[in-house]
């Protein structure tokens, strides 16, 4: 099987990296290049000067000439020493900047990706790309590539000099080239495959750890520690064996290079010695020694350069993985001519909406819902009937496959996402808590809010006592140091803090105890005043006052109307009401 060193995609990726992140630094890069060339010439001069020194020794010449040679050698290596500092420090800086800009670009892109992307992407996959792979790529560009360029330049300059000194001897040294080249070709194809597997196994391992950390309660109670341990040990043994394979493949290059170098040295010592002994060639002992020295000087760079090309394949995998993020298309984005949506009274309508999370499973077929301005509309229905999805569609987290979401009669797509989402305060079903203090968690809804405003919101959500007693202490990763009900109250406080014209409450009080729920509901009634409100609720007692109620069943509206109307219809809603009003132990949760 013949695999190309660079696929067209690789070339496109490298071109992208070059033009977006390096090109503007061409001046600095050129300076680095000049210093690298200078380093090459230092070595060439070293050979020439050494040859002169050797000749002084062989012909028992003047000691002062020898001293001069030594001084010169010191001088040129001092120059090399200076560049040895400047080259890596400058290139680290350039690579660091390039990587920083690349990370910023990636983050800026990723934050605007569709919700759909995040539904299907493990957070650890993003961490792997944004943290590890970008870092590795930075090291590769900043160190490995610069070193490779240096090696290449050394080889070119010193070889040029050696050819000039003796083309015949140099040609004999070339026998090693095809061997090295073939080996390189073989190894680099292998490495590319291994590296790709390595990254995917590493990603799996990281997501195992993530799931473990997040699901510890479930794991403990189901006593799944052993299977989890096995799963992780398996993944990490996969990492180990791929890592060893990767290193071994890279190491494959070395023996072939060592053997070819032995052959070359033999040819030069034998053949060169013969030439020096015979009178036919204009070559002496000093030339042979400096020639050998030259070969020694280029062998190491040649070896490193071959390794570089092998490693380059691994880095192309990283580059591809990173760039695929840049190439991920968004479905939900602003049209070029999108307007700012600006209205106080907002009527929302879903007209002829078709939607499915996957192309094959349709959830809504011809969904028609109207949420009148300033009114409270409720959506009820069994778990999985599509209530939360309706809220996701009106906030444009997902796009309808056909049909329209209308804001005051205009297509939601006519407006900028930002101006649309600004119109909502949301208490979502799955509460997201950040690892900050309670105060800062509430303030997340409106970063500019004053302390008084935050306190007021906390009071309305009945979380003020806890907020004051916890002070600046963090609530732990994902709010682990809070109860379910406390987290929900933070989410409610956020809605009070940012009173937007449309209020979305998705089972907003499901985790509260009955007494807290009652007082929060009172506060909500206050907040709802004059706003378009959409309430999703399990407990029907909280929505009896709604102006309109939709009953959803598997993505279809099966009943609609006021509470009284629906009761009189004696359908699903009526039976749900009946089931809930049966006397039973009231479950308390918090």
Ligand X SMILES: Nc1ncnc2c1ncn2[C@@H]1O[C@H](COP(=O)(O)OP(=O)(O)O)[C@@H](O)[C@H]1O
Which residues here bind ligand X, judged by CB under 6 A?
Answer: 119, 357, 363, 381, 383-389
> In terms of CB distance, is 154 or 534 closer to ligand X?
534
Asked if 532 and 346 touch (Cβ cutoff 8 Å), the reply is yes
Q: 9 to each of 125, 199, 316, 410, how far by Cα in Å?
A: 22, 18, 10, 42
Separation CA 23–CA 319 (nearest Å): 17
Angle, helix 285-327 to helix 26-58, in steps of 10 degrees: 160
3-state secondary structure of 292: helix
Question: Which of helix, strand or coil describes residue 533?
Answer: strand
Quick one: 56 or 380, whose CB is closer to ligand X? 380
- If you write DSSP's letter for every residue of 166-210 in order, what string do you get? -HHHHHHHTTHHHHHHHHHHHHHHHHHHHHHHHHHHHHHHHHHHH
- Residue 82 CA to residue 42 CA, distance in Å, equals 12
Q: Which two tokens stand for residue 528?
A: 């709802």
Q: How far is the CB of 508 from ligand X (least distance, A)?
A: 13
Name the minimum Å distance from CB 536 to Mg ion.
6
Q: Find which of ligand X, Mg ion, none residue 117 binds, CB within 5 to 8 Å per kind.
A: none
Beta-carbon contacts of 373 under 8 Å, excluding residues fewer than 6 positions away, are 345, 346, 347, 408, 532
Q: Residue 384 Cβ, how far from ligand X at the closest point, in Å?
A: 4
Asked if 209 and 131 touch (Cβ cutoff 8 Å), the reply is: no
Least Cβ distance, residue 561 to ligand X (angstroms): 19
CA atoms within 13 A on the CB side of 452: 0
C-beta of 443: minimal distance to ligand X in Å? 28
Task: Select 342 or 430, whichever has its Cβ closest to ligand X.
Answer: 430
Element (H, E) at 265: helix 225-267
369: β partners: 350
Nearer of residues 145 and 377 to Mg ion, judged by Cβ: 377
**From the list Mg ion, ligand X, none, partner contacted by residue 494 (C-beta under 5 to 8 A by kind):** none
Give 268 or 431: the residue with its C-beta nearer to Mg ion: 431
From the list Mg ion, ligand X, none, partner contacted by residue 366 (C-beta under 5 to 8 A by kind): none
Residues facing residue 557 across a β-bridge: 552
Looking at beta carbons only, is 99 or 390 nearer to ligand X? Answer: 390
Nearer to Mg ion, 379 or 433 (CB): 379
Rounded distance between C-alpha atoms, residue 227 and residue 243, angstroms = 24
Question: Whole-number minimum distance, CB 372 to Mg ion, in Å?
Answer: 22
Q: What residue 386 binds from Mg ion, ligand X, none (CB within 5 to 8 A, per partner kind)?
A: ligand X
243 Cβ contact partners less than 8 Å away, ≥ 6 residues apart: 198
Instruction: Determine the distance from the C-alpha atom of residue 322 to the mean position of all C-alpha atoms in its chain, rounded to a whole number.
Output: 7
By C-beta, is 88 or 571 nearer to ligand X? 571
> Whole-angstrom Cα distance, residue 375 to residue 379?
13
383 binds, among ligand X, Mg ion, none (CB under 5 to 8 A by kind): ligand X
CB of 538 to ligand X, least distance (A): 9
Using CB atoms within 10 Å of the CB of residue 359, give its burial: 0 to 12 exposed, 13 to 18 middle, 19+ buried: exposed
Residue 389 binds: one of ligand X, Mg ion, none (C-beta under 5 to 8 A by kind) = ligand X
Dist. CA 31–CA 38, nearest whole Å? 11
Minimum distance of ligand X from residue 387's CB (angstroms): 3
Q: Please give the residue ranges that form the binding site for Mg ion (CB under 5 A).
A: 387-388, 429
* Phi and psi angles of residue 502, each rounded to the nearest 5 degrees, phi first: -120, 135
> CB-wise, 207 or 290, nearer to ligand X?
207
**Cβ of residue 445: shortest distance to ligand X, in angstroms?**
22
CB of 330 to ligand X, least distance (A): 16
Comparing every residue's Cβ against Mg ion, the nearest one is 388
- Is 119 or 545 the residue whose CB approaches ligand X more closely? 119
- What the block records as the tokens of 9 is 């995609």
Q: Which of 386, 485 has the CB closer to ligand X?
A: 386
**Interacting partner of 363 out of ligand X, Mg ion, none (Cβ under 5 to 8 A depending on kind):** ligand X
Which of ligand X, Mg ion, none has residue 119 at its interface (CB below 5 to 8 Å by kind)? ligand X
CB distance 331 to 115 below 8 Å = no
Residue 519 CB, shortest distance to Mg ion, in Å, is 24
């Amino acid at each position: 099987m013949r695999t190309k060193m660079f696929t067209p995609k690789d070339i496109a990726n490298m071109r992208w990296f070059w033009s977006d992140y390096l090109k503007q630094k061409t001046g600095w890069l050129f300076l680095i290049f000049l210093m690298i060339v200078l380093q090459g010439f230092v070595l060439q001069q070293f050979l020439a000067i050494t040859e002169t020194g050797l000749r002084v020794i062989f012909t028992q010449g003047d000691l002062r000439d020898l001293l001069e040679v030594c001084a010169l050698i010191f001088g040129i290596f001092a120059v090399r020493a200076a560049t040895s500092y400047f080259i890596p420090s400058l290139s680290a800086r350039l690579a660091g900047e390039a990587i920083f800009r690349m990370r910023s670009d990636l983050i800026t892109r990723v934050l605007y990706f569709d919700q759909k992307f995040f539904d299907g992407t493990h957070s650890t996959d993003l961490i792997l790309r944004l943290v590890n792979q970008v870092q590795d790529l930075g090291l590769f560009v900043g160190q490995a590539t610069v070193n490779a360029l240096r090696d290449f330049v050394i080889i070119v300059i010193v070889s040029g000099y050696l050819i000039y000194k003796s083309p015949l001897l140099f040609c004999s040294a070339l026998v090693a080239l095809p061997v090295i080249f073939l080996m390189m070709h073989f190894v680099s194809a292998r490495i590319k495959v291994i590296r790709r597997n390595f990254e995917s196994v590493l990603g799996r391992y990281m997501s195992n750890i993530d799931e473990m950390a997040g699901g510890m309660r479930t794991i403990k109670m189901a006593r799944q520690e052993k299977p989890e341990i096995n799963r992780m040990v398996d993944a990490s043994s996969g990492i180990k064996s791929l890592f060893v394979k990767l290193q071994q493949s890279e190491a494959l290059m070395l023996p072939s290079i060592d053997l070819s170098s032995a052959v070359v040295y033999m040819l030069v010592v034998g053949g060169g010695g013969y030439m020096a002994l015979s009178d036919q060639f204009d070559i002496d002992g000093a030339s042979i020694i400096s020639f050998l020295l030259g070969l020694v000087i280029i062998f190491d760079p040649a070896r490193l350069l071959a390794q570089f090309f092998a490693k380059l394949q691994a880095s192309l995998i990283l580059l591809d993985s990173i760039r695929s993020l840049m190439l991920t298309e968004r479905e939900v984005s602003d049209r070029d001519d999108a307007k700012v949506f600006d209205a106080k009274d907002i009527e929302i309508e879903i007209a002829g909406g078709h939607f499915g999370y996957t192309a094959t499973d349709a959830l809504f077929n011809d969904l028609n819902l109207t949420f009148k301005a300033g009114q409270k509309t409720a959506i009820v229905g069994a778990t999985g009937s599509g209530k939360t999805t309706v809220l996701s569609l009106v906030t444009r987290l997902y796009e309808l496959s056909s049909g329209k979401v209308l804001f005051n009669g205009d297509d939601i797509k006519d407006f900028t996402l930002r101006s649309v989402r600004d119109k909502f305060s949301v208490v979502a079903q799955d509460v997201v808590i950040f690892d900050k203090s309670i105060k800062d968690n509430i303030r997340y809804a409106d970063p500019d809010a004053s302390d008084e405003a935050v306190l007021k919101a906390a009071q309305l959500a009945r979380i003020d006592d806890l907020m004051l007693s916890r002070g600046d202490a963090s609530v732990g990763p994902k709010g682990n140091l809070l109860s379910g009900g406390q987290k929900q109250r933070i989410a409610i406080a956020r809605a009070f803090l940012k009173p937007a014209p449309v209020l979305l409450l998705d089972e907003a009080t499901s985790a509260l105890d009955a007494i807290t729920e009652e007082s929060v509901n009172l506060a909500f009634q206050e907040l709802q005043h004059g706003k378009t409100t959409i309430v999703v609720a399990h407990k029907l007692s909280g929505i009896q006052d709604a102006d309109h109620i939709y009953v959803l069943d598997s993505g279809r509206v099966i009943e609609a109307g006021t509470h009284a109307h629906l009761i009189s219809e004696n359908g699903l809603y009526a039976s749900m009401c009946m089931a809930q009003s049966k006397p039973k132990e009231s479950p308390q949760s918090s």
